[in-house]
Homo-oligomer: A and B are copies of this chain.
Amino acid sequence: MIIDTDSGGDDIHALLTAFDLAAKKNIEIIGITCINGNSQIEDGIKNITIVQKIAGVNIPIYKGCDRNLKQKITLSSKFFGDDGLSGHQEKYLKELNIQQYQLQQQHAVDFLIESALKYKEDLVIICLGALTNVACAMMKTAEFEENIGLVIGLCGNVLGLGFMNDGVAEYNVHTDPEAAHLVFKVLAKKLIVIPYEAVISVSEFTITKVFEQDTTIKGKFVKEIYEGMKTANNRYDIQDPLCILAATMPDIITEFVERPCNVILEGEGRGMVSVKWLDKDPQANQVTFILKVDENQLIQTLHNVVG
């Protein structure tokens, strides 16, 4: 398993969750790749080092693409601050006495390709940010898409909901729609996505429960990460951890649908995914969209992570 992350916020919570579940379920995380998004890659590397130290793990980190085919990537710093940790990065770097970062020489895209050739269908790539690194690997060589097992992404929408582009599009697809277009079209049958609608289907009650366990070190750390989002939105959204749960505990998924879809690239709808509800041809390039998860299991698992 490789985790591709956009460097801050709920990604860090997701990493903490992934470290915990991987240990329990005997899943090997062979690397973490990163791109711009919730923060700059540079801050991402710091944030990943912090969460690794807190979790007591040491997984190689790879730097990924720093732009996309049409535009510079816009950071979503309004949710998790400029540092991607709602302003707590510096404090943790000091507390944990972190002075250097073990960044691999190899580029994330090349690590993805090399891993695809090595692990073949056993390779699962978890994408918590824009799909730029995966798309770039697909461009470099067709062997990548032929060899990998699955891509599981927190991205896109099924009903046109999101918080980008006036509420028309989900953040990770909107950040690099051309990359998403390639992945949703070509990798469809190897692609499982947790769309924005699955994220907001989680009830207020559950979310509140998740953030109650703030007496442990890890629990406090998680709550601090989301401070910026709480201030901006007056609520928490747990996007990326949901993706980790769906990837490592498939039985948590209670509802899903398989449909071909299309990423809108032009005009005011840019970044929206249009789902072809009536095209049920199993031969068609159908993406699997997760719609709901078991909220009791969700609470229990996330509590255990920070317990």
Chain A positions within 8 Å of B, measured between CB atoms, are 65-70, 107, 109-110, 132, 135-136, 138-142, 158-161, 163, 165-168, 178-179, 181-182, 260, 262, 264-269, 272, 274-279
Contact = CB atoms under 8 A, between A and B. Distances in A.
B276 A178 contact: no
Contact of A274 (B142, B160, B279): B160
A261 B13 CA distance: 34
Contacts of A68: 139
Contact of A166 (B66, B158, B166, B260): B260
Given A262-B268, A269-B269, A168 B69 contact: no
A268 B274 contact: yes
B274 A65 contact: no
Contacts of A277: 161, 166-168
Nearest to A64: B140
Number of copies: 4
A241 to B, nearest CB: 23
B179 A69 contact: yes
B262 A269 contact: yes
A69 B186 CA distance: 10
B279 A140 contact: no
A15 B182 CA distance: 33
A168 B275 contact: yes
A274 B278 contact: no
29 contacts: A66-B142, A69-B69, A69-B139, A69-B178, A69-B179, A69-B181, A107-B110, A107-B140, A136-B139, A136-B140, A158-B160, A159-B159, A159-B161, A160-B160, A160-B275, A163-B278, A165-B276, A166-B260, A166-B277, A167-B275, A167-B278, A168-B275, A178-B178, A262-B267, A262-B269, A264-B264, A265-B266, A266-B267, A269-B272
